[in-house]
Structure 1
Amino acid sequence: MTKPETPLLAADIIIELNDRPGRPIVLIERRYPPLGWAIPGGFVDVGERIEAAAMREAREETALRVKLRALLGLYSDPARDPRGHTVSAVCVAEATGEPRAQDDARHLAIFAPEALPEPLAFDHARILDHFRRYRETGLITPLWSPDSLDNV
């Protein structure tokens, strides 16, 4: 029997630096295609919980130990990753200290959420827009409306 093909699962982490004015966020510039600036993150290993993968990926890419605060959402558009169908669980986390580019990160920089670099990889512009609204209101942005489900 052949194993069914399913989407890959990723954990991405929006890291707020709480020890800096304005609580800026950490983005990495990807070392490998697709290129661009991105939220730190990566694939969940078999047998690993999503929250553990998020904390591991944050440490591997930014050298920061993070404290997870919220699940911003699940992003599952089959076209969001040009390498193949990937579903991402996006967490909001906080950290203190000096981040360093490591692992898959070519560079790392700190940005105010309202002043982001370009280009952003994947669907990270959409995700960071949801994050800005979450930060302003404390509410998670619905990823769909009842009307949009009519097209599913």
Structure 2
Amino acid sequence: MHKTRSFSCACTRCGAAVAQRNPFPTVDIVLHRAPQGILLIERGNPPHGWALPGGFIDCGESAEQAAVREALEETGLAVRLTGLLGVYSDPDRDPRFHTLSVAYTVECDDDAIPCAGDDARNARFFPLDALPADIAFDHRRIIADFAKKVSRSA
């Protein structure tokens, strides 16, 4: 069963309320440091669990800008995009409503230390072979796609 969350906005021509039922655009970032592993945040809001840093794209913002902003808000890290990992659009990827996520690989200064912020309760690195059991959304799939990409380039 697909989620049918909708929202309303005003028509710019007549001012009438217009209901929209489109997927919500989001971003996720994958930051990997050897030998520390992959950076995850512990979510402070439902659905709880560990997740890749990321969030909703704001109106007037590009996906790339959102990825950099969300990384800074949730981890305190100033990141640089290094590539597009993939687009994830399974209607059931988020238990709250239908989202579409653009996932990027990123890097930051080697001496930068993550610090949880915004709606993140914790931010830390996990080795790829020792991920926590409670990973939110479809982030285990995104991490697996990243691991495949890294193993192919090694």
TM-score, length-scaled by structure 1: 0.84
Deviation for aligned residue 1:75: 0.4
Q: Deviations over 1:7-36 (max 9, x none)?
A: 10001101123xxx4262210000000010
Match of 2:92 in 1: 79
- Once the two structures are superposed, the pairs formed by residues 9-48 of structure 1 within 5 Å of their partners are 9-17=25-33, 21-22=34-35, 24-48=37-61
Amino acid at match of 1:22: P
Q: Distance in 2 between matches of 1:51 and 1:8?
A: 16
Helix, strand or coil at the partner of 1:81: coil
Q: Deviations over 1:71-98 (max 9, x none)?
A: 1101000111011000000000011211
Q: Deviations over 1:34-67 (max 9, x none)?
A: 0100000000001100000000000000000111
Deviation for aligned residue 1:107: 1.1
Helix, strand or coil at the partner of 2:122: strand
Amino acid at match of 1:132: A
Q: Any gaps of 5 or more consecutive residues in structure 1? A: 140-152
Match of 1:57 in 2: 70
TM-score, length-scaled by structure 2: 0.83
Q: Distance in 2 between matches of 1:36 and 1:12?
A: 15
Deviation for aligned residue 1:109: 1.3
Q: Deviations over 1:111-141 (max 9, x none)?
A: 11222112100011111100100111139xx
CA contact (8 A) 1:7 1:86 kept: yes
For the pair shown, the structure with the greater C-alpha radius of gyration is: 2
Q: Would you identify which runs of 4 or more consecutive aligned residues in structure 1 move more than 4 Å?
A: none
Q: For the aligned residues, what is the CA RMSD?
A: 1.5
Q: Any gaps of 5 or more consecutive residues in structure 2? A: 1-15
Amino acid at match of 2:69: R
